[in-house]
Amino acid sequence: MKIRIYDNRVRLRLDRAEVDAISQTRPVVGQTVFPGGAVFRYVLRADSGAQMTASFNGQEIGVLVPAPQLMTWASDDTQISLQAVVGQSPNMLELLVEKDFECLEPRSGENQDNRFKNPKAKGPGSG
């Protein structure tokens, strides 16, 4: 799982295996280990609540998504993302969970075998 944080926006991108895991209500975890041993984690979990939520405990960002919403998203090839705005200004946080697509331009050192087909990719015979 990839994370992108920009101001009050948190974006998680999941590959096929991670979408499969979350569709079975297994949490998906990413982490970064810093020199010295400190660990920053980010976790996506299915939840029994009625709406997406997020928390931060100083070491881990947790994003919770209602299980039925996750199941529908995971099983629908046309639904790319889930999004929500949580909290109130000035502590409003935008959440985005999306399927990770293959890059249109190859990038050195990145394995794209487990990513979703990019809808903007030109197929055979197009162009």
- pLDDT of 126 over the 80 cut: no
CA distance 36 to 110: 26
- pLDDT of 118 over the 70 cut: no
* Helix, strand or coil, per DSSP, at residue 119: coil
User: Measured in whole angstroms, how far is the alpha carbon of residue 77 from the centre of its chain?
Assistant: 15
CB 16 within 8 A of CB 114: yes
Q: Does residue 47 sit within a domain?
A: yes
Q: Give me the CATH number covering residue 75.
A: 3.30.1360
Amino acid 125: pLDDT: 43
Stated pTM of the model = 0.80
CA distance 1 to 58: 20
pLDDT tens by residue, 19-74: 999 989 899 999 999 999 999 999 999 999 999 999 999 999 999 999 999 999 99
Let me know how many helices (H) and strands (E) the chain has, helices first: 2, 8
Q: Does residue 67 sit within a domain?
A: yes
Residue 65: give the domain boundaries. Answer: 2-99
Amino acid 104: pLDDT: 52
